[in-house]
Amino acid sequence: MKKITSFLIIACIILLTDCKRDTERVAITPKISVELPNNYIKNVSHGTSSFITNPELKVKSKLYYYTGRINEDEVIIIKTITKEFDNLNVEKKKERIKPLLKGYVRAINGRDLIHKEKIINGIAQGDFRYEAEIKDSLFIVFGRLIIQDTNFLIFNYQTKMPVTRRSIKDKENFIKSIQYNQ
């Protein structure tokens, strides 16, 4: 019995020390980080965007994209730096979330937007979900939009419909992994 117990303890130690994490914590801003898959990709795009303000006003901006896959699903984080929110208090920033989300979803031909705005840790944010058709497949996108200082962030978790229990669990873990550092 002692040999079996010793063997099991040693086997557990070997397995636990040999395990490789498949995610890493990534600082999206100095104050906000998230768990991303180890194989995530960061891209920078220099261009114009209109979903931040109104569709008629194009804004030159640098967009940072973080993309990765969790099982069969995709995570996409979009970050841009803008002075549009500099003079707004947190309550006014919260009020801007609804039109920003509507503009964002309209720009990518999404539909059936559901959202809820809130203030957490003094940061205006909105949780959302919408549907989108991409390459003849129907997807549902869950996410969070955050306005923090001069950072405008969109965290997306995209999964093919019908949504599986695994995808729901992975989505919840992704959204919960967003941390606000003081």
Over the stretch 59-76, which tens digit does the pLDDT of each residue have? 566 788 999 999 999 999
How confident is the model over 132-166, as pLDDT tens digits? 988 888 999 999 999 988 888 999 999 999 999 99
| pLDDT for the residue numbered 109 | 84
| pLDDT for the residue numbered 50 | 54
The DSSP 8-state label assigned to residue 85 in this structure reads: T
Q: Is a pLDDT exceeding 50 seen at residue 106?
A: yes
| pLDDT for the residue numbered 179 | 93
| Structure-model confidence comparison of residues 45 and 15, the more confident one | 45
**For domain 22-180, which CATH number applies: 3.40.50.300, 3.90.420.10, 3.40.1000.10, 3.30.450.40?**
3.40.1000.10
How confident is the model over 21-54, as pLDDT tens digits? 588 999 999 999 999 999 899 988 876 655 554 4
| pLDDT for the residue numbered 118 | 93
| pLDDT for the residue numbered 132 | 92
d(CA 32, CA 72): 25
How confident is the model over 125-134, as pLDDT tens digits? 999 999 998 8
Residue 76 three-state SS: strand
Q: Please spell the DSSP secondary structure of 143-160, one letter per residue.
A: EEEEEETTEEEEEEEEEE
Q: Which residue, 138, 117, 118, 142, is CA-closest to 130?
A: 142
Q: Is a pLDDT exceeding 60 seen at residue 15?
A: no
**Rounded percentage of the chain residues whose pLDDT exceeds 70:** 80
The DSSP 8-state label assigned to residue 28 in this structure reads: S
- Quickly count: other Cβ atoms within 10 Å of residue 73's Cβ: 20
| pLDDT for the residue numbered 121 | 84
The DSSP 8-state label assigned to residue 20 in this structure reads: -
